[in-house]
Each structure stands twice: as structure tokens, then as C-alpha cells.
Chain A
């Protein structure tokens, strides 16, 4: 157990809908990262938050947004869903926000868009 909790584990929804994925980081970790994993694209970095502030942005679509709350949990919002958004979404946390320390991954949320 990495200490990072993601909910839900599985999500099935229809095209055009909106979903929210939730992540609770390890106790004491200030930084949260979101990654999208599809079969042929590996781990695609979406966005990073550090202590409530957006720190870095990757290839995140405009239909996607995220935030980190004062209690440090984070939510990833995906809207106007398309079939191609089906993927495994991972949240990871680390103590520092500089990418130089181990990132602990949650178990992921598998999103299926039908």
C-alpha cells in the first residue's frame, strides 16, 4: 500500500458526460501529480499541484481540469467525455514538488467511456 488513495477504482460513463476523480495523497506529501495511462502512450503527465497551487502542466486537454484543496486532496474533472478518454488515470504524491524524490502512485481509476 503506497498510502495514496484514489476513488473510484472503476468508472463507466457515456460520451458527453462529466466525471470527477479523487485522490488523497500520502500523509505529509504536499505535491500531487495526475497521469493518464493508455495502452500505447505510457504514462502521460497531465498536471501537478503543490500545496494547493498549480505547479506544472503537461498535455492536459482543455476539457480537463484539476484542483488541490486545503486538506491537500486533489480532484481531476473530466468533461464532455469522448471514447478516446478511456484510460487508467493515476494520481501520485511526493513530499517535494521538484520531481526529484520518489513519487508514490495510487491504484488508479479505470475510466471507460461508452
Chain B
């Protein structure tokens, strides 16, 4: 099945800096890559997703890039704010047989004022 690796496991930045979280996946048939944000004590929520027919997608301060050849995708957060502090999960979904979401282990992002 699909395997998703996520790095780093923790990331500390100063407010206003940029943050980058990287994920790699194993199944070349994967074609949907969402990112979820989980604030402390709360449920994961989708923040952005990308499909394999595009290389980059932006939504205000967040962007996701996809490199299908290298089988990796990244989340970029610019002008970070303290409220961006959370655990971020990447995920991948394949077209091989029945598909479900396979998540990475998460990155804890800490934004210091």
C-alpha cells in the first residue's frame, strides 16, 4: 500500500518567517494530496489540497507544490502567525484499487511571537 513520509517532525519559526513541510509518497499511482491542520485538542481540518494534474496551488498565505517525478509534495506557509501553530498532516490517495487517505506522521509547527 501507500506509504507517506513527512519531515520535519517539529518546526519552530519566528512570527513572519516562512515554513516549509515536505512529504514523499511511495505509490506512483497516487493523484490526490491534501493537507490537514490539527490545532491542539481539536479535529484535523483540510486547509489545502492538490491533484496530480497541477504542480502548484495557492490560497492566501499557504501554497502546495507537487513534483510527481520525484514523488514529493510540500506545504509552504508565508508570513507565519502564532495562530498557525498546530500539527500539519500531509496525505496521499492512490488510484490503485479502492482508495483511501494515507497520512504522514505529522509536523508540529510552533510560531513564536
Binding site for B on A (CB under 8 A): 2, 33, 35, 40-45, 48, 55-56, 58, 90, 97-100, 102-103, 105-108
Contact = CB atoms under 8 A, between A and B. Distances in A.
B106 A99 contact: no
Interface residues of B, number: 24
Chain A CB within 10 A, most for which of B32, B51, B103: B103
B43 A107 contact: yes
A45 B100 contact: yes
Given A33-B101, A58-B100, A99-B32, A42 B44 contact: no
A56 B100 contact: yes
A2 B43 contact: yes
B105 to A, nearest CB: 4
Interface in B58-103: 89, 93-94, 98-103
User: Most chain-B Cβ atoms within 10 A of its Cβ — which of A44, A48, A100?
Assistant: A100
B43 A105 contact: yes
Contact of B105 (A33, A42, A105): A42
Interface in B21-53: 31-32, 34, 42-46, 49, 51
Contacts of B101: 33, 45, 99, 103
8 contacts: A2-B43, A43-B89, A43-B103, A44-B103, A45-B101, A56-B98, A97-B98, A106-B43
Contacts of A44: 103
Interface of B: 1, 6, 31-32, 34, 42-46, 49, 51, 89, 93-94, 98-106
A35 B93 CA distance: 15
B38 to A, nearest CB: 9
A100 B43 contact: no
Q: Looking at A35, A42, A103, A108, which has the most chain B CB atoms within 10 Å of its CB?
A: A42
B80 to A, nearest CB: 22
Contact of A99 (B42, B100, B104): B100
Contacts of B43: 2, 90, 105-108
Given A42-B89, A42-B104, A43-B106, A99 B99 contact: yes
